[in-house]
A and B are shown apart, each in its own frame.
Chain A
């Protein structure tokens, strides 16, 4: 598809008018952090580089999502609830685009989950390239997620007054051609893009002592590492890391009865493998009771299990878990320490 260029002012005007008709979710400054919020005007959008506290996943897998509604009137009726609105997710970083590709692979391709699919089909992803590292916690360069070649409808690169636009889908093309003043990219624009990429490539350096392809093997070898015991001692099992993770999607399924006592709903709600009850069965046995087992499980999911099962990254190097951890457990340190001190005991 033909690359385009759009003036920032034109894009902003377009978003202002779209925000009246559709849900536009974009990063908004929220104290010292940033959050994806539904905006009403483009001026609310923050141009900061720190990743949002929560990834945009919340628009696809809401913290609480109704799955079924049931009612007891003449007879018991049970109906599925498929809810979706037209949504533009604006300003999605490449790490998060990679994470959404994983969720699509699981919830759409593999499980045919109608709830997720309905939301996903009505979401337009407008990505924005990262040109400089966000902070010390980010390691996307090591995870191979700094660059996005797919998984977006439109991908923007900031060229100061304009955005260079790559189009990833027919929906993306329609979106970008709907903006007044958009033009085809010329030789000079491509030169500016190349220079921006060169500056980016110089600014990002690998943070891990292993490549992401080596992580599954490293983790498999490190099953007996003493590091898990150390991390188990340190970890508070609060579950913050899994709540902010763009590739965490585990959930609990529960029922609520309405106050009329004649109707209710079944919903899914975010859950965390870091909580002790997560792997508990009806008879009371917990199959992952020690904290070190739970910490190890999380890192293995991120670096190994998901990659082995789906061939896609289970960790995209966004650094959110490290930023949110009260006791400073950082995957960069964990993976590098495993690399530095393999199997012992």
Chain B
């Protein structure tokens, strides 16, 4: 896999902890706990990220949090973060209005390996919040659709109320050049679709192991089951792509919080192949 972030932040700035400033240009509440933020760097420069990379977001006086970039780099000079309110920084973000300034360090880490996916079938498997980083990849796949063979998206949610990006999900479902399927762990009376974990969707697919690149992001329990499934159909370990969540505190491979055995998720990941992770017991796969 190719690294997408090569120059250390410290080589670019007097302090690797000095963020760029960005302005909140739009905010949209998606759920009681999740909000989409549209941001623009001060000065108007593009963030220059690759799908799957993350940024450290600062609310000064509160702290910094690592957040995956949810928009495709093909979508102009703004970028989007979809944030669940869970900690100090994400809660403080909710109090910020349009025009407010936050700090941004990044893009950081290694993103999804587009070069591996080109001309191949891409199978995206999203569980819960996993759709947030995968949306940046989905946007790129749609905007550069002719570069890829078949595109399939499997999206598993806890319940219909937890589904994110409802309008976009509908649009993905309506496209003829994408096979989009969604499932709920628990249905409610409004839900007419599939019920069960995301593995139930996979079972009904005809996957060609020679041409398919599975890309999955979700909770640890989802990785366990889905990795087993894709291995069972004969996809090689080094072509199974996963993105992991850990506590990337410094984002530059110093602070140690995101370490999985000898690997730094912030620097070596967050995107890995299964081959890279399978011997690491702390990867919990």
Contact = CB atoms under 8 A, between A and B. Distances in A.
Interface in A249-305: 249-255, 257, 264, 266, 268, 271, 273, 278-285, 287-288, 293, 297, 300, 304-305
Nearest to B262: A305
Contacts of A76: 21, 60, 101
9 contacts: A112-B10, A114-B13, A252-B257, A255-B60, A255-B61, A264-B60, A266-B64, A278-B247, A282-B90
Interface in B60-80: 60-65
A213 interface: no
Interface stretch (A103-111, A144-152, A196-204): A103-111
Given A113-B16, A223-B281, A255 B62 contact: yes
Nearest to B18: A80
Nearest to A261: B61
B278 to A, nearest CB: 13
Nearest to A283: B86
B247 A280 contact: yes
B254 A113 contact: yes
A174 interface: no
B226 interface: no
Report whether over half of chain B's contact residues are helix, strand or loop; otherwise say mixed. Answer: loop
Contacts of A254: 63
A250 B15 contact: no
Contact of B103 (A78, A249, A250): A78
A80 B62 contact: no
Given A112-B16, A282-B84, A282-B247, 13 more contacts: A70-B60, A106-B254, A107-B254, A251-B250, A254-B63, A266-B63, A268-B250, A279-B246, A279-B257, A281-B247, A285-B220, A287-B284, A297-B259
B213 to A, nearest CB: 26
Contacts of A287: 246-247, 260, 282, 284
Contacts of B247: 278-282, 287
Contacts of A107: 254
Contact of B261 (A278, A283, A300): A300
Report whether over half of chain A's contact residues are helix, strand or loop; otherwise say mixed. Answer: mixed
A257 B61 contact: yes
Contacts of A257: 61
Among all A-B residue pairs, the 8 with the closest Cβ atoms: A112-B10, A250-B256, A305-B262, A80-B15, A282-B86, A112-B11, A67-B17, A70-B60
B282 A293 contact: yes
Contacts of A273: 256, 259
A245 to B, nearest CB: 12
B18 A305 contact: no
Contact of B246 (A110, A112, A281, A300): A281
A68 interface: yes
Contacts of B284: 287
A309 interface: yes
Interface string A205-244: 0000000000000000001000000000000000000000
A304 B60 contact: no
B33 to A, nearest CB: 11
Nearest to B85: A282
Interface in B260-285: 260-262, 281-282, 284
A278 B84 CA distance: 21
Interface in B97-138: 101, 103
Interface in A58-75: 67-68, 70, 72
A47 interface: no
Given A76-B60, A110-B8, A68 B262 contact: no
A285 B63 CA distance: 20
B251 to A, nearest CB: 9
Interface string B14-34: 111111010000000000000
B11 A253 contact: no
A251 B14 contact: no
Nearest to B62: A255
B16 A111 contact: yes
A253 B255 contact: yes
Contacts of B62: 255
A208 to B, nearest CB: 21
A132 to B, nearest CB: 35
